[in-house]
Copies of this chain bind each other. A is one copy, B any other.
């Protein structure tokens, strides 16, 4: 019996999605502990995106197998009752046996929020990165042009933090949307998959373009170089949220 779940979490208190050694302070670890209690046996949860420590999710997707069929409503209520208050399973549905949340994912969308002015966003402060050095203004047109050069199918090795990555670093970024709300800039990235830290390095690079420290025309050579050290800084985890996964 295979079940697909959609999960929302405030990543502030966690060491990210993926279980690490004997640390249970991960989203995957918390889910597996509750499922183990429910099913009476070890249950592995496969997540669509391995979000880093401090990264949030509105629509993370995962799946897991149970030996016995469960009542969906009952299992959903059980999970939420025993999960901490900063993790919620918003949907649970039985899916065909062969469904795998990561391998079958067609596209993912991540959102990165940056406040460039003096607004503190008192109630949302843990989901926004504050970059005050530019005094409330970024060069949005240049960021837009750089984003257009980054869209499409490319080798994104320059934007991958894993130096020993042996598999292909080619990915398709379908769309990078940049919008502004007052002095807040919102970057939405949709793609078929993202490398380790890729969204945060893309954001850091675009921010450097917006700050006038990097020319938007340099994106092509940056992709060609396949060298992480030439790309921008890794934007902090707290500004990032996994919005949704499409199948």
Where the two chains meet, the residues of A that have a C-beta atom closer than 8 Å to any C-beta of B are 8-10, 56, 77, 80, 85-88, 118-120, 122-125, 127
Q: Tell me whether A80 and B127 are in contact (CB under 8 A).
A: no
Of the residues B80, B118, B120, B127, contact of A123 by C-beta under 8 Å: B127
Of the residues B77, B86, B87, B122, contact of A86 by C-beta under 8 Å: B122
Of the residues B85, B86, B88, B120, contact of A88 by C-beta under 8 Å: B120
A9 to B121, CA, bound (A): 9
Q: Tell me whether A123 and B122 are in contact (CB under 8 A).
A: no
Closest B residue to A85 using CB positions: B125
Closest B residue to A77 using CB positions: B118
Closest B residue to A81 using CB positions: B118
A185 to B158, CA, bound (A): 49
Of the residues B80, B119, B122, B124, contact of A120 by C-beta under 8 Å: B80
Q: Which 3 A-B pairs have the closest CB atoms?
A: A88-B120, A8-B122, A88-B122
Residues of B within 8 A of A8 (CB): 120, 122-123
Q: Tell me whether B80 and A122 are in contact (CB under 8 A).
A: no
A123 to B118, CA, bound (A): 22
Residues of B within 8 A of A123 (CB): 8, 10, 56, 124, 127
Closest B residue to A118 using CB positions: B80
**Best-surrounded residue of A8, A122, A124 (most CB of chain B within 10 A):** A122
Residues of B within 8 A of A88 (CB): 119-120, 122
Smallest distance from the beta carbon of A237 to chain B beta carbons, Å? 16
Smallest distance from the beta carbon of A193 to chain B beta carbons, Å? 25
Residues of B within 8 A of A56 (CB): 123
Residues of B within 8 A of A85 (CB): 120, 122, 125
